[in-house]
Amino acid sequence: MVVALSGELFDAIELMAARTGNHKRAAVRMSRLAVQASPSGMSRAEAHMRAGEQWLLADEPATAADEFRAAIADAGPTLDDPRVPLARAMFVLSRPSALDWATAGVEAYLRGEDRAELPLLLRLRYRIRVDLGLAEDDYDKMLDSRRAQRGLRDGPAAGV
Strand partners, 83: none
Q: Can you tell me the distance from the alpha carbon of 33 to that of 73, in angstroms, rounded to the nearest whole number?
A: 17
81-127 pLDDT per residue, tens: 999 999 889 888 887 677 787 888 888 788 876 566 788 888 888 88
pLDDT for 153 beyond 80: no
- What confidence tier does 146 reach under pLDDT thresholds 50, 70, 90? low
Identify the residue with better confidence: 122 or 44.
Answer: 44
DSSP code string of 13-28: HHHHHHHH--HHHHHH
Q: Can you tell me the distance from the alpha carbon of 153 to that of 89, in angstroms, rounded to the nearest whole number?
A: 38
Identify the residue with better confidence: 125 or 50.
Answer: 50
What is the model's pLDDT at position 95? 73
User: How distant, in Å, are the alpha carbons of 11, 121, 130, 137, 159 from that of 153?
Assistant: 51, 20, 21, 20, 10
Mean pLDDT of the residues in the chain: 85
pLDDT for 10 beyond 70: yes
